[in-house]
Structure 1
Amino acid sequence: MADDPEEGMLSWDESVFRNEHVFEIDYVPETFAHRESEMRSLKYALRPAARGSRPLNVIARGPPGTGKTTAVQKVFGELGAQTDVRTVRVNCQVDSTRYSVFSRIFEGIFEYEPPSSGISFKKLFRQITEKLVEEDEVLVVALDDVNYLFYEGEASDTLYSLLRAHEAHSGAKIGVIVVLGPEPRCHRGLGRPRPERLPPRRGVLPGVRPRGNRRHPPRTCRARFPRGRRLDRSPDEVAELTAESGDLRVGIDLLRRAGLNAEMRASRTVSLQDVEEAYEKSKYVHLSHSLQALSDSEIELLEVIAQHDGERAGDVYDAFHDQTGLGYTRYSEIINKLDQLDIIDATYTNVEGRGRSRQLSLRYEPDAVLNRLEGS
């Protein structure tokens, strides 16, 4: 039938993928290639914990999608299987306050959630440290996407509490892995924790490299597509587009969408056209990920900026205040967060007769931002 929607696509039992599960966001590969030195650094820092001592603290820094979370999950898996060390990974995009971070730690130790109300942070903290001392256990906490604690002004108090837990309760042994992006400006929010309290061991995971110095994209593609599925120049194109975006998650999403495009046209070959069409959606992976962390007032301001793209900060504030009634202090805080998230550019420019003023511009097309806000 000419109007049959399945006409021209592969049947349900046919696929261009060898294993589509590897494209899922929570997939942890059995073989973690090209991160051997970073894994050794993590294991070096955590070895004292396996012997019952307080481990070294670590900063794992690198661009999005370079394997920071996967490295932590792999090492935590080994620790949990071979030792009695307690490990807790906290997603700071979801838990972005000190109280919520310690609630996740409480859940990881006691294996049930703390009461949603009626318990102070001081009591929550004391129950955690008392349990560790009572059981003579070492705890390692990974603060994943810790940037979000900085954006909310919660990083200083959270790190202070974790790093000085042994002072609050003698005998408490807690190590911290701080997982954050590449921007050094994130460190400005540390405030109270002085340099001697910061993690002493740092690891930097390199990002995506352009042609001539890439990390074997053809082999990566072969691991995802079966033998006999010809890829033409698609791996090279995927690598170039991923390097251009600076986020490996774009490349993973791009491979999946390109494969689905090929299946929809009943092809067993992923073509350049499949890749190029897929990129029109995959290039917004970082944007979609960042929008999930925004509050209602932050979304409202982003909508205003999309409607006033490229205008001065003062004019944008007037429109935002008229719409929400919020003051300039909150407005400035949101601007700084959106800038840190790389959703907008807030750059200072010279305005004749007015001195320096910030100009607010989206890093994406306004329609792309608004469409994703409507669908979120």
Structure 2
Amino acid sequence: MKKNLLMWDETLFRDPEVFEIDYVPEQFNHRDAQIRELAFQVRPGLRGVRPQNTICRGLPGTGKTTSVKKVFAEIEETTKKLVPVYINCQIDNTKFAIFSQIYRRVTGHLPPASGTSFKQVFDAIARTLLREEQVLLVALDDANYLLYENEINRVLYPLLRSHEAYPGVRIGVIAIVSDMSVSLQSEVDARVASVFRPTEIYFPPYSEEEIHGILEERVLQGLYPNVLRPEILDLVVEQTMKNGDLRVGIDLLKRATLNAEKEARRCVEREDVCKAYEVSRYLHLAYSIRALRDDEREVLAGIAEMSARDDREMSAGDVYRFVKDQVGVGYTKYYEMIRKFDAMRLLNLHYRQGRGRTRLISLRYDPKRVLEHLRQ
């Protein structure tokens, strides 16, 4: 019996990096058509011409970010004349924050922390691009977050119309959108739309067979032989399909293997997967909460507390009265937050007909889980 137990200094992981969410695999299957189309859109930048603007659209966990990062890695290996900049809009979701990241990529350092205007930052970016005869390609990942924050036009306008203020500057934009209810082309204002005119590349959900193949590849790369039996992989695939998000499956593999290690087992058992799924299934919730501002977190906490007391649909007015004294937020700002939470799939916002239209709110997640993640 003892020989089947893991020693304290042993591990089941051959390469734990393979199970990180931001890992970019060398072998990236099932997105060849999308990568070819994306490469075609950015190819003019290699010739010193502005790349074609593009929207990569699809549900979370469908390979959009990885595809863009694969193309960016190839660009960086090939040329210095096309400068790719990746921005995570869940983290950097204001105009100044985004252009500070662009400034850092172009100049090699961040702008001064204080006393620097946006115009000074953009002037420095433009001057560097002109001096080095470089073309800029900016990927705005989760660009729908800029829409929730009313920043999308403030970001796209200077990027897309930069050539008017700085003749010779060439900038292309890739917008990655995971909210299928958002049509970015119709949401931007007319002055942006007239120069944006993007090509849309659709990333469909992975099939069960594709998810099985991708996760099997991760297991072969990241775990030692015989750690995960075929029937346990089938269970992981089954749980992943329930969520429709490949990232859940990757996280599930990691957590289940850690559970097995904790119990000093040499292989992952069904109970390890079931236990891990209770955490991995809330991956979207964890990522979404991480992107919220402090006042938004407080309002969401108020909604969760109210929902925990009364497990029914709540009227938006009742919720506002419950949270306004705690947070000190006005109704207009509060309703903007509610719409944002709805767009982020944290809650459902809909209407009930009666004497007028009553807005109803219901959390998509267990309120106790929401509060738990907010405290982390």
How does the TM-score come out when normalised to structure 2?
A: 0.91
In structure 2, what is the Cα distance between the partners aligned to 1:220 and 1:76? Answer: 22
Residue identity opposite 1:87 in structure 2: P
Residue 60 of structure 1: how far off its partner (Å):
0.9
Residue 139 of structure 1: how far off its partner (Å):
0.8
Matched, 1:164 2:165: no
In structure 1, what is the Cα distance between the partners aligned to 2:365 and 2:140? Answer: 28
In structure 1, what is the Cα distance between the partners aligned to 2:226 and 2:272? Answer: 18
Matched, 1:224 2:222: yes
In the TM superposition, what are the counterparts of 1:330-369 in structure 2 within 5 Å?
Answer: 330-350=333-353, 352=354, 354-369=355-370
Q: Secondary structure at the match of 1:223?
A: helix
Of the candidates 94, 112, 135, which is equivalent to residue 97 of structure 1? 94
Q: Secondary structure at the match of 1:185?
A: coil
Matched, 1:322 2:325: yes
Residue identity opposite 2:29 in structure 1: A
Q: CA RMSD in A?
A: 2.1
Alignment-derived partner of residue 171 in structure 2:
174
Residue identity opposite 1:305 in structure 2: I
Residue 9 of structure 1: how far off its partner (Å):
5.8
In structure 2, what is the Cα distance between the partners aligned to 1:220 and 1:23? Answer: 7
1:9–1:263: 8 Å Cα contact kept in structure 2?
A: no
Residue 205 of structure 1: how far off its partner (Å):
1.5
Matched, 1:205 2:203: yes
CA, structure 1 residues 252+193, in 2 after alignment: closer, same or farther (shift >3 Å)? farther
Of the candidates 20, 27, 45, which is equivalent to residue 23 of structure 2? 27
Residue 230 of structure 1: how far off its partner (Å):
4.5
Residue identity opposite 2:17 in structure 1: H
Of the candidates 282, 285, 302, which is equivalent to residue 284 of structure 1? 282
How many residues are matched? 367
In structure 2, what is the Cα distance between the partners aligned to 1:11 and 1:199? Answer: 59
2:211–2:246: 8 Å Cα contact kept in structure 1?
A: no
Instruction: Flag the structure with higher helix content.
Output: 2
Residue 194 of structure 1: how far off its partner (Å):
5.0
Of the candidates 128, 136, 140, which is equivalent to residue 137 of structure 2? 140
In structure 1, what is the Cα distance between the partners aligned to 2:171 and 2:300? Answer: 39
Of the candidates 72, 82, 87, which is equivalent to residue 76 of structure 1? 72
In the TM superposition, what are the counterparts of 1:121-132 in structure 2 within 5 Å?
Answer: 121-132=118-129
Q: Secondary structure at the match of 1:250?
A: helix
CA, structure 1 residues 295+260, in 2 after alignment: closer, same or farther (shift >3 Å)? same
Alignment-derived partner of residue 111 in structure 2:
114
Q: Secondary structure at the match of 2:258?
A: helix
Q: Secondary structure at the match of 2:206?
A: coil
In structure 1, what is the Cα distance between the partners aligned to 2:282 and 2:228? Answer: 27
C-alpha distance after superposition, 1:238-279 (max 9, x if no partner) = 112112112211111100111112222232222222211110
Residue identity opposite 1:170 in structure 2: P
Identity %: 44
Alignment-derived partner of residue 312 in structure 1:
315
1:45–1:56: 8 Å Cα contact kept in structure 2?
A: yes
Residue identity opposite 1:299 in structure 2: R
Deviates more, 1:334-343 or 1:115-124: 115-124
Residue 152 of structure 1: how far off its partner (Å):
0.5
Residue identity opposite 1:159 in structure 2: L
Deviates more, 1:339-348 or 1:198-207: 198-207
CA, structure 1 residues 239+101, in 2 after alignment: closer, same or farther (shift >3 Å)? same
Residue identity opposite 2:83 in structure 1: R
Residue 196 of structure 1: how far off its partner (Å):
3.8
Residue identity opposite 2:358 in structure 1: S
1:232–1:271: 8 Å Cα contact kept in structure 2?
A: no
1:143–1:176: 8 Å Cα contact kept in structure 2?
A: yes
Alignment-derived partner of residue 11 in structure 1:
7
In structure 2, what is the Cα distance between the partners aligned to 1:9 and 1:198? Answer: 59
Deviates more, 1:278-287 or 1:227-236: 227-236
Residue 307 of structure 1: how far off its partner (Å):
1.8
Q: Secondary structure at the match of 2:182?
A: helix
Deviates more, 1:312-321 or 1:46-55: 46-55
Matched, 1:238 2:236: yes
Residue 199 of structure 1: how far off its partner (Å):
4.2
How does the TM-score come out when normalised to structure 1?
A: 0.91
1:50–1:83: 8 Å Cα contact kept in structure 2?
A: yes
C-alpha distance after superposition, 1:3-54 (max 9, x if no partner) = xxxxx96223433333211112332211112111111111111111111111
Residue 232 of structure 1: how far off its partner (Å):
4.2
Residue identity opposite 2:45 in structure 1: A
CA, structure 1 residues 237+63, in 2 after alignment: closer, same or farther (shift >3 Å)? same
1:208–1:243: 8 Å Cα contact kept in structure 2?
A: no
